Copies of this chain bind each other. A is one copy, B any other.
Amino acid sequence: MAVYTDVSETDLQLFIADYDIGQLLSYKGIAEGVENSNFQLHTSQGNFILTLYEKRVNPNDLPFFLGLMDHLAGNGLSCPLPIRRRDGETLGVLAGRPAAVISFLEGMWPRKPSVTHCRETGRALAAMHVAGEGFEIVRPNALSVDSWRPLWERSAARADEVEKGLAIEITQALDALEAGWPKGLPEGVIHADMFPDNVFFIGDELSGIIDFYFACNDFLVYDLAICINAWCFEPDGSYNLTKGMALIDGYTDVRSLSAEEVAALPILAQGAALRFLLTRLYDWLTTPEGALVVKKDPREYLRKLRFHRAVDNASEYGLRRAGHIEETAP
């Protein structure tokens, strides 16, 4: 629920004049999103999204994010396309912030994801991994295994306020993850935040993926582990094996998983659960009471972490085909 920066219509007119997107007719701040200020523009040429990058985004990462969307869209993925100004640039400055205009993606994110949504999301995730090949800018994952201990140390002293015994439990999980984290798996550009609110559908058809502002280079299958966490658990905390099957089937329809990737899935799923547990825990402990932000309960990811720690092998997530699967066209 965030528009951090209001924009005056005169400043916006001046900014828009550098683009070939027609006459500005209206703009409205969008309530969703917490990192940046987003506006829906309506011009004589249709709808567009205007994003002002707020301080949580490192300006040095913007060429990666905008270049990636351009690369992915160029390779046929349905995702927002940064609009070029007349000087060829995709990044400008508005209200003192880096700002970009991107194409408007039709569709709605599923509040209650279905099995079909999960299958289509798996396919789109793999299609993104394939479409990302050849993208030349590199952005290491700042929220992978190496970052978790320093992040944890910022919450550790107060963790038991959330649940008694949490500090010991997280420390043990973190020790195990650091010791057992896999090496040498296939790497590439991952989305890293492909939650339901970042995947748009019209009916059962996936219309596109948005919000590449956590994208980075990491193990491709770690992205699948994040999606298992984000898409396949029910509100009561139970794991929906049918959704897991659909997600993984959808993924492997488009990109095969190696035996090493399959073997690593349980520990990667634990890691993904811990990553979201740690950021939510930190936000939970530091967001002031009364702030009109929906505080996301970190215990949701504690339950998921416990589930993954009890998993023996990837078949428990719904993986039905072991070893290499021939790659098919997306």
B28 touches A32 (CB 8 A): yes
Residue A42, interface by CB 8 Å: yes
Number of copies: 2
B3 touches A31 (CB 8 A): yes
B292 touches A293 (CB 8 A): yes
Residue A47, interface by CB 8 Å: yes
When distances are taken between beta carbons in the complex, the residues of chain B under 8 Å from A42 are 47, 104, 106
Q: Which of the residues B9, B29, B108, B292 comes within 8 Å of A292, measured between beta carbons?
A: B292
Q: How far is B16's CA from A108's CA once the two chains are assembled, in angstroms?
A: 14
List residues of A (1-52) whose CB comes within 8 Å of B's CBs. Answer: 1-3, 6, 8-10, 12, 23-32, 40, 42, 47
Q: Point out which of A2, A12, A108, A290 has the most chain B C-beta atoms below 10 A from its C-beta.
A: A108
A110 touches B9 (CB 8 A): yes
A107 touches B25 (CB 8 A): yes
B30 touches A28 (CB 8 A): yes
Q: How far is the CB of A222 from chain B (nearest CB, A)?
A: 29
Residue A289, interface by CB 8 Å: yes
Chain B, residue nearest A30 (CB): B28
Chain A residues bordering chain B, tally (CB within 8 A): 39
Q: Which of the residues B30, B109, B202 comes within 8 Å of A31, measured between beta carbons?
A: B30
Q: How far is B104's CA from A75's CA once the two chains are assembled, in angstroms?
A: 35
Residue A111, interface by CB 8 Å: yes
Q: How far is the CB of A125 from chain B (nearest CB, A)?
A: 20
A9 touches B106 (CB 8 A): no
10 contacts between A and B (CB under 8 A): A2-B31, A8-B111, A9-B108, A9-B109, A25-B202, A26-B108, A28-B32, A29-B30, A42-B104, A290-B290
